[in-house]
């Protein structure tokens, strides 16, 4: 079932749905209004017409007919429930990471909370929000998981067969008691728990793993910094990553690719700052979480290594493939020629599936024509070869201007930079409105007339105001009433200069 068909089917069951960014659990749209009203079928169809690969999110709570979902994050609890899925007599979903979602319809309102046994975290209960927060949402089949690249899939039952109960909180607590002997609900914490210090691992000391990391030359600076200082999703070097789980997966995969064993990878999370967010969080099942992360990463690395073993021609061998552009995919193909010389070419997605296009691109990086092996020649056989390259592909930090949104933000930044260079009022505020056209600035901010910026950009490209405003907000800009000159007040975008000039 494709995403649009699934989304429409969920809509027919009374669920409020919206699209997720492809291979992500991040909303593709602003979804706040759909916590209070359901999108109609025409809107749903338009979303997936524009983005057919988008995932599907279901909003829990009363907006979706009293939907409450047990989102199981505990590894052993997930396995226990998977073996008993049919006995639950409701819709049970296995996520792309191997976790379990259990759906119920609750007559009594259920709010988002946590299920614990003693102080051990078992699962989240997704439902209506509390206070100012809205209801939770969940990725649903056939969404592709961002790290494992596996689809969410139905394990038992179906949406029409979701079990109705008086109080889902009570049912979920009883399920937790059957697994753990005791279980209780607890409010979701508003502050992050301080990471615990764990006793030394048996057989691996901090000193020995530190020496191991120092000796591995294949670990990039970005990964080393994440290990030594931890990292924050959505900022700095990890701008395009939206959860710490994705950072952990990237670090795990990189260490496995450098031939660290599973226990050595665990030791990195055990001893270093990278483990603070999940592995050493006392309120979360840290080791279970790492087991899942390691399992998914090991499968990916093994597929990549097996592909690399046979991804070669008569006079070249592909060593590594890195995805370097997103919206219009491009790949850096690292290979060696018959003399062992290391080469690199950049190939777009179409050429990756065209034998002629692939050979032409490869030829630019070689002194001779590349020769394909017989088993890879011909349309069908070359498609299998292309699939090998995709299995090898890793995703490194995508330059901001490699995406459509990033490219537009780059153009906005460039236009503001040009205006700064030509302005007479950088460091000297204007005395009158007519003294400046697009902007003026002090040491900390530039103050931009949004409508003038849109008009200037529209001379060379389509610049819809809402998209320009989103780009400005991305740079930390905010709309302010600014006073200058002889108490002149004007509504302007105030943007930190450092985000424009860096």
162-193, pLDDT tens digit by residue?
A: 999 999 999 999 999 999 888 888 765 444 44
Look at strands 488-496 and 92-94 and give their pairing: unpaired
Chain segment 401-445, per-residue pLDDT in tens = 445 566 677 788 888 988 898 888 898 889 988 888 899 999 899
The pLDDT, as a whole number, for residue 59 is 96
Query: 398 falls in which pLDDT band (50, 70, 90)?
Result: very low
Q: Do 113 and 188 touch, CB atoms closer than 8 A?
A: yes
The beta-carbon contacts of 416-424 under 8 Å, at least 24 apart in sequence, are 416/446, 416/448, 416/453, 416/495, 416/500, 417/500, 417/501, 419/448, 419/453, 419/456, 420/446, 420/500, 420/501
- What is the per-residue pLDDT for 299? 80
Predicted confidence (pLDDT) at residue 160 exceeds the cutoff of 90:
yes
pLDDT tens readout for residues 455-485? 888 776 667 788 889 889 888 899 999 999 8
Average pLDDT over residues 260-283: 85
Interatomic CA distance for residues 88 and 57, integer angstroms: 23
What average pLDDT score do residues 378-401 get?
74
Domain with CATH 1.10.1240 in the chain: 206-301
On whether the CB atoms of residues 491 and 480 are closer than 8 A, the answer is yes
Contacts of 87 (CB under 8 A, 6+ apart): none
**β-pairing verdict for 120-126 and 478-484:** unpaired
Cα first-last separation, the chain = 46
Q: Where do you find CATH 3.30.2250 in the chain? A: 3-186
Better-scored residue on pLDDT, 59 or 310:
59
pLDDT of residue 379: 84
**pLDDT one-digit tens code per residue, 318-369:** 988 887 765 567 888 889 988 888 888 888 888 888 889 899 889 888 878 8
Does 288 have pLDDT greater than 50?
Answer: yes
pTM of whole model > 0.75? no
Q: What band does 106 get if pLDDT is binned at 50, 70 and 90?
A: very high
> What residues pair up with 18 in beta bridges, in sequence order?
57
Out of 107-121, 238-252, 278-292, least confident range? 278-292
Report the half-sphere exposure of 185 (CA within 13 A, side-chain side): 16
Residues β-bridged to residue 463: none
Tell me the C-alpha distance between 448 and 412, whole Å: 12
Give every CB contact of residue 448 below 8 A, 6+ residues apart in sequence: 416, 419, 438, 439, 472, 477, 492, 493, 494, 495
Question: Which pLDDT score is estimated for 455?
Answer: 84
Contact call for residues 70 and 121 (beta carbons, < 8 A): no
**In which band, very low, low, confident or very high, does the pLDDT at 393 lie, cut at 50, 70 and 90?**
confident
Q: 99 pLDDT exceeds 80? A: yes
Peptide bond into 217 cis (omega under 30): no
Task: Count how many residues are written for the chain.
Answer: 502
CATH topology of domain 3-186: Prim-pol fold (3.30.2250)
Look up the CATH architecture of domain 206-301: Orthogonal Bundle (1.10)
In this prediction, residue 12 carries a pLDDT of: 95
């Amino acid at each position: 079932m494709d995403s649009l068909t699934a989304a429409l089917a969920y809509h027919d069951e009374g669920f409020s749905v919206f699209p997720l960014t492809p291979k992500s659990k991040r909303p593709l749209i602003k979804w706040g209004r759909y916590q209070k009203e359901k999108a109609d079928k025409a809107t749903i169809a338009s979303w997936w017409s524009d983005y057919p690969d988008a995932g599907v999110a279901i909003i829990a709570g009363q907006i979706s007919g009293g939907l409450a979902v047990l989102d199981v994050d505990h590894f052993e609890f997930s396995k226990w429930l998977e073996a008993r899925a049919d006995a639950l007599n409701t819709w049970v979903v296995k996520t792309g990471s191997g976790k379990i979602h259990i759906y119920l319809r609750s007559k009594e309102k259920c709010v988002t909370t946590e299920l614990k046994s003693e102080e051990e975290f078992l699962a989240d209960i997704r439902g209506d929000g509390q206070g100012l927060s809205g209801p939770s949402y969940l990725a649903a089949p056939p969404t592709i998981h961002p790290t494992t690249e596996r689809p969410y899939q139905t394990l038992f039952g179906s949406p029409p067969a979701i079990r109705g109960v008086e109080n889902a909180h009570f049912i979920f607590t009883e399920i937790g008691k059957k697994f753990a002997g005791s279980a209780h609900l607890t409010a979701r914490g508003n502050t992050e728990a301080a990471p615990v210090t764990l006793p030394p691992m048996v057989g691996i000391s901090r000193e020995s793993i530190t020496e191991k990391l120092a000796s591995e030359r294949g670990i990039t600076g970005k990964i080393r910094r994440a290990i030594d200082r931890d990292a924050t999703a959505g900022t700095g070097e990890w701008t395009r990553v939206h959860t710490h789980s994705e950072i952990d997966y990237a670090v795990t995969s990189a260490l496995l690719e450098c031939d660290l064993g599973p226990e050595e990878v665990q030791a990195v999370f055990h001893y270093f700052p990278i483990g603070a967010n999940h592995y050493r969080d006392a309120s979360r099942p840290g080791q279970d979480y790492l087991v899942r992360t390691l399992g998914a990463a090991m499968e990916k690395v093994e597929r990549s290594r097996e592909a690399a073993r046979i991804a070669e021609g008569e006079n070249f061998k592909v060593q590594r493939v890195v995805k370097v552009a997103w919206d219009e995919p491009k790949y850096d193909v690292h290979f060696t020629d018959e003399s062992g010389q290391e080469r690199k070419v950049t190939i777009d997605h179409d050429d990756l599936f065209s034998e002629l296009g692939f050979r032409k691109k490869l030829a630019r990086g070689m002194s001779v024509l590349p020769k394909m092996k017989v088993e890879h020649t011909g349309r069908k056989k070359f498609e299998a070869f292309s699939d090998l390259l995709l299995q090898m592909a890793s995703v490194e930090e995508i330059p901001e201007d490699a995406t459509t949104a990033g490219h537009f933000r780059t153009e906005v930044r460039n236009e503001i930079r040009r205006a700064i260079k030509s302005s007479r009022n950088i460091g000297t505020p204007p005395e009158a409105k007519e003294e400046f056209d697009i902007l003026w600035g002090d040491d900390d901010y530039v103050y931009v007339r949004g409508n003038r910026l849109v008009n200037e950009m529209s001379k060379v490209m389509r610049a819809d105001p809402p998209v320009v405003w989103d780009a400005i907000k991305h740079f930390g800009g905010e709309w302010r009433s600014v006073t200058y000159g002889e108490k002149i007040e004007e509504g302007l975008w105030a943007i930190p200069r450092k985000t424009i000039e860096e």
